[in-house]
Amino acid sequence: MSHKGRVCIIDDDEAVRESLRLLLFTAGYQTCQYASGDALLAEPDRPDVDVYLLDFRMPGTDGMSLHQQLVAEGCRVPVIFVTGHGDIPLAVSAMQRGAADFLTKPFEESKLLEKIDTAVSHFRALRVELAEQQALRARLEQLTPRERDVLRLVVQGLSNKQAAVELNISPRTVEIHRARVMEKTGADSVATLVRMTSDLDDADPGLT
């Protein structure tokens, strides 16, 4: 049975965790919980989740520091702060650091669900994109150095003849390398190759 997504609740107040769990369950989400930021960070096998719901004020590692830590690790999972302490400078700071959203109590449950929905669907789309990039990277790694050279020149718009001159090989050889590049990357056209490599470049400058 599929569910709408997995939400990780981090709050030191058990009653709050339980009420969020119930709300999310009714709305079709799976949840996991931690009573503190430290507990999450100490977890060796972190659960695979689509969004974090963080309280701000927690003993030990507070919500802000936890968010900072996750960002520093390169974690792309969206973070939504849910807190009784709605002070503007902190909220703005959280948003500048990349929080997906920030809700102050009391809030409407429907609002929270709406924001979770948005965050989860964005993240799932991002996950697909990241997986595609990963797959493409793996395919590019299969290229020989010469094939990589040809790829680089082809996406820059050089013709086979121009590439041949640049690389000091025959146009026929360029053609062969090019065919192999297309095969290995699964691209159906130069335009596709350009798109693939520019997507990767945006994510990972200097890769190609």
Partner 1 sequence: MAENDHLVLVLEPDEAVRSALSSLLRHHGWRVTARAEGAALAEVLTATSPLVLICETALPDMTATAVLSLCVAAGVPVVFTSHRNETQKAVDLMRKGALDFLEKPFPQKRLLEVLEELRVRARVKQK
Can you tell me which of 1, 15, 72, 88 binds partner 1, judged by CB under 8 A? 88
**109 near partner 1, rule: CB under 8 A:** no
**168 near partner 1, rule: CB under 8 A:** no
**123 near partner 1, rule: CB under 8 A:** no
44 versus 89: smaller Cβ distance to partner 1: 89
**86 near partner 1, rule: CB under 8 A:** yes
Can you tell me which of 18, 87, 183, 201 binds partner 1, judged by CB under 8 A? 87
Residue-level length of the chain: 208
Can you tell me which of 1, 45, 96, 206 binds partner 1, judged by CB under 8 A? 96
**114 near partner 1, rule: CB under 8 A:** no
Can you tell me which of 95, 130, 191, 207 binds partner 1, judged by CB under 8 A? 95
Cα(128)–Cα(120) distance, rounded to whole angstroms? 12
Q: Which stretch binds partner 1 (CB under 8 A): 10-18, 94-102, 123-131, 200-208?
A: 94-102
66 versus 100: smaller Cβ distance to partner 1: 100
**149 near partner 1, rule: CB under 8 A:** no
Can you tell me which of 29, 34, 52, 102 binds partner 1, judged by CB under 8 A? 102
29 versus 102: smaller Cβ distance to partner 1: 102
Q: Are 9 and 32 in contact (CB under 8 A)?
A: yes
Give just the sign of the alpha carbon dihedral 34, 41, 120, 100. positive
DSSP readout, the chain? ---S-EEEEE-S-HHHHHHHHHHHHHTT-EEEEESSHHHHHH-SS----SEEEE-S--SSS-HHHHHHHHHHTT--S-EEEEES---HHHHHHHHHTT-SEEEESS--HHHHHHHHHHHHHHHHHHHHHHHHHHHHHHHHHTS-HHHHHHHHHHHTT--HHHHHHHHTS-HHHHHHHHHHHHHHHT-SSHHHHHHHHHHHHHHSTT--
Residue 132 Cβ vs partner 1, minimum distance, rounded to whole Å: 26
Cα(4)–Cα(34) distance, rounded to whole angstroms? 20
Residue 68 Cβ vs partner 1, minimum distance, rounded to whole Å: 17
29 versus 81: smaller Cβ distance to partner 1: 81
Q: Which residues in this chain contact partner 1 in the complex, by CB under 8 A?
A: 86-89, 91-92, 95-96, 100-104
